[in-house]
């Protein structure tokens, strides 16, 4: 078997724990942490704000290191720091300590063991099937969205939130770290490959010269792609975070409303595989346009405040598109900037997208407060999808030999 699929497995597992915890499971800790420190939800939420802010600086720095140092070492350091951070977080005695430690842990784990570093090393090992491989690795985020919340829900009654974090830290050191050390290698040249497909390992070894930061920032493709993806990620995350309030506002039960998130997550798993293959067969532009079209269709359906079955159908459309965001982004970066500069290009673009995402939440909240409905928000976001699609037009991809 081609060794690159082992790389995919390592990236899959790491993303499952990192994204599974910080994106899907951390909300399960909000109430017990709030009760433990005697504070409001707002104070606990500052931990996520802190992590997002620190991530604006860690992602570009780690991106540069990614192009210079061993990915295996960086990956292992990320898992160790993730585990250490969770353990220290469980020992925090004040809410300020909790916020600071959480923020640092979140930023380091996402940068050193999250989607960026996984996409970078997978891209180095694949050429013809790069989109497919990126899609399979990215499914770890969806599996983690089920696995990690399940573990935390199981541990919380017996161990409390502090013991739960310690248990998760132990799992990271005992299981995830050895798998990462066993699977991850920076380049195909580091191992002897038997039975490798032509165009996979051989193509990954040959890479263009490394670009400097100025070269990347002067490339118009960087800004067109960053703005388009920024709008896509911003509108999607803002609506996803308000999916339950949207449904309950229309009179649906809390259980039915919460089930919509599960629909998005399941379809996201399928979308990662479909869009990964679409990026290989149709090209990145068509794949990204397809994702933006599906999001726009979902937004328009939700804006009309339809019956529950149509809301579910809208969530299917949005979920499929959401699954394609990460693999298509990774494929774009690899083709535009080359494998030698993948880390720094991805690391520089991540803060730009994060800034877009940070603007989406207050915009959705303000429009809802002003109108008492999410309908106007959804119509505006549908229009923004058209803008995002137009920003893809000027992108110029290098021709593949």
Based on the fold, state whether residues 188 and 93 are members of the same structural domain.
Answer: yes
DSSP code for 341 = G
pLDDT at 376: 92
Based on the fold, state whether residues 197 and 238 are members of the same structural domain.
Answer: no
Q: Is residue 125 part of a domain?
A: yes
Tens place of pLDDT for every residue, the chain, 401 residues? 778 888 999 999 999 999 888 877 777 787 888 889 988 877 887 888 888 889 888 988 888 888 888 889 999 999 999 999 999 999 999 999 999 999 999 999 999 998 888 888 888 888 777 778 888 888 888 788 778 888 988 998 999 999 999 999 999 999 999 999 999 888 777 665 444 443 454 444 444 567 777 888 888 999 999 999 999 988 888 887 677 678 777 877 756 666 777 788 788 778 777 776 766 677 778 888 988 999 999 999 999 988 888 999 998 998 888 777 777 787 788 888 887 888 888 888 888 888 888 788 778 778 887 888 889 989 999 999 999 999 999 988 776 54
pLDDT at 53: 87
Based on the fold, state whether residues 56 and 176 are members of the same structural domain.
Answer: yes
Is the distance from CB of 199 to CB of 316 less than 8 angstroms? no
Largest CA distance in the chain: 63
Based on the fold, state whether residues 166 and 268 are members of the same structural domain.
Answer: no
Based on the fold, state whether residues 198 and 166 are members of the same structural domain.
Answer: yes
Is the distance from CB of 315 to CB of 243 less than 8 angstroms? yes
Based on the fold, state whether residues 372 and 226 are members of the same structural domain.
Answer: yes
Based on the fold, state whether residues 245 and 361 are members of the same structural domain.
Answer: yes
Tell me the per-residue pLDDT of 247-287, one tens digit each, with 9 for 90 and over. Answer: 777 877 756 666 777 788 788 778 777 776 766 677 778 88
CATH code of 367's domain:
1.20.1250.20
DSSP code for 38 = T
Q: Is residue 399 part of a domain?
A: no
pLDDT at 74: 92
Helices (H), 190-283: 201-205, 213-217, 220-241, 243-249, 254-281
The reported pTM is 0.74
Q: Is 1 exposed, middle or buried (0-12, 13-18, 19+ CB in 10 A)?
A: exposed
- The boundaries of the domain holding residue 241 are 210-392
Instruction: Return the ∠ at Cα 222 (arms to 216 and 223), rounded to 5°.
Output: 125
Q: Is 250 exposed, middle or buried (0-12, 13-18, 19+ CB in 10 A)?
A: middle
pLDDT at 202: 42
Q: Is residue 118 part of a domain?
A: yes
Tell me the per-residue pLDDT of 347-370, one tens digit each, with 9 for 90 and over. Answer: 888 888 888 887 887 787 788 878
Q: What does residue 104 show for φ and ψ, rounded to 5 degrees?
A: -65, -45
Give how many domains the chain has, as a whole number. Answer: 2
Q: Is residue 400 part of a domain?
A: no
pLDDT at 300: 95
Instruction: Return the ∠ at Cα 118 (arms to 314 and 276), rounded to 5°.
Output: 40
Helix then strand then coil, in percent of the chain rounded to 5, is 85, 0, 15
pLDDT at 278: 67
* Domain-terminating residue out of 168, 203, 238: 203
Q: Is residue 398 part of a domain?
A: no
Is the distance from CB of 213 to CB of 344 less than 8 angstroms? yes
Is the distance from CB of 193 to CB of 3 less than 8 angstroms? yes
* Domain-terminating residue out of 147, 180, 203: 203
Is the distance from CB of 120 to CB of 250 less than 8 angstroms? no
**Gap between the Cα atoms of 170 and 161, Å rounded:** 14
Instruction: Return the ∠ at Cα 236 (arms to 15 and 344), rounded to 5°.
Output: 50
Based on the fold, state whether residues 179 and 316 are members of the same structural domain.
Answer: no
- Token pair for 298: 């979902």
Residue 268: closest CA among 140, 381, 125: 140
Based on the fold, state whether residues 228 and 308 are members of the same structural domain.
Answer: yes
Is the distance from CB of 121 to CB of 8 less than 8 angstroms? no
Based on the fold, state whether residues 318 and 170 are members of the same structural domain.
Answer: no
pLDDT at 303: 92
Based on the fold, state whether residues 120 and 259 are members of the same structural domain.
Answer: no
* Domain-terminating residue out of 203, 230, 262: 203
Based on the fold, state whether residues 301 and 385 are members of the same structural domain.
Answer: yes
Is the distance from CB of 266 to CB of 319 less than 8 angstroms? yes
The label of the residue with tokens 């598109």 reads: 321
Which residues, other chains included, contact 180 with Cβ-Cβ below 8 Å and sequence gap of 6+? 10, 13, 14, 72, 75, 76, 79, 113
């Amino acid at each position: 078997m081609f060794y690159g699929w082992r790389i995919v497995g390592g990236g899959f597992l790491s993303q499952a724990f990192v994204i599974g915890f910080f994106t899907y499971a951390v909300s399960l800790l909000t109430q017990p942490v709030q009760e433990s420190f005697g504070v409001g939800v707002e104070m606990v939420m500052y931990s996520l704000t802190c992590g997002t802010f620190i991530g604006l600086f860690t992602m570009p720095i780690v991106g540069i290191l990614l192009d210079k140092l061993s990915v295996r070492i960086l990956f292992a350091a990320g898992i160790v720091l993730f585990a250490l951070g969770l353990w220290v977080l469980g020992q925090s005695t004040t809410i300020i300590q909790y916020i600071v430690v959480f923020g640092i842990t979140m930023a380091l784990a996402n940068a050193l063991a999250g989607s960026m570093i996984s996409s970078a090393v997978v891209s180095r090992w694949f050429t013809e099937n790069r989109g497919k491989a990126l899609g399979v690795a990215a499914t770890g985020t969806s599996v983690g969205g089920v696995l990690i919340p399940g573990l935390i829900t199981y541990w919380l009654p017996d161990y409390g939130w502090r013991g739960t974090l310690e248990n998760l830290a132990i799992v990271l050191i005992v299981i995830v770290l050895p798998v990462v050390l066993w699977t991850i290698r920076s380049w195909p040249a580091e191992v002897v490959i038997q039975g490798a497909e032509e165009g996979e390992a051989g193509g990954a070894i040959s890479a263009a010269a490394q670009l400097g930061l100025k070269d990347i920032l002067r490339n118009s493709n960087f800004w067109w792609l960053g703005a388009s993806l920024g709008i896509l990620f911003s509108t999607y995350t803002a609506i996803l975070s308000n999916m339950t309030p949207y449904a309950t506002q229309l009179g649906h039960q809390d259980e039915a409303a919460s089930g919509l998130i599960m629909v998005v997550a399941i379809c996201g798993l399928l979308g990662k595989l479909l869009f990964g293959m679409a990026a290989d067969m149709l090209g990145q532009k068509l794949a990204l346009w397809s994702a933006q079209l599906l999001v726009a269709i979902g937004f328009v359906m939700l804006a009309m405040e339809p019956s529950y079955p149509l809301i579910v159908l809208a969530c299917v459309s949005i979920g499929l598109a959401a699954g394609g965001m990460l693999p298509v982004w990774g494929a774009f970066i690899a083709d535009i900037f080359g494998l030698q500069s993948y880390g720094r290009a991805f690391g520089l673009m991540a803060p730009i997208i994060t800034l877009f995402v940070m603007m989406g939440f207050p915009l959705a909240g303000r429009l809802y407060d002003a109108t008492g409905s999410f309908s106007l928000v959804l119509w505006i976001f549908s229009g923004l999808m058209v803008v995002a699609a137009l920003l893809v037009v000027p992108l110029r991809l290098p021709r593949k030999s």
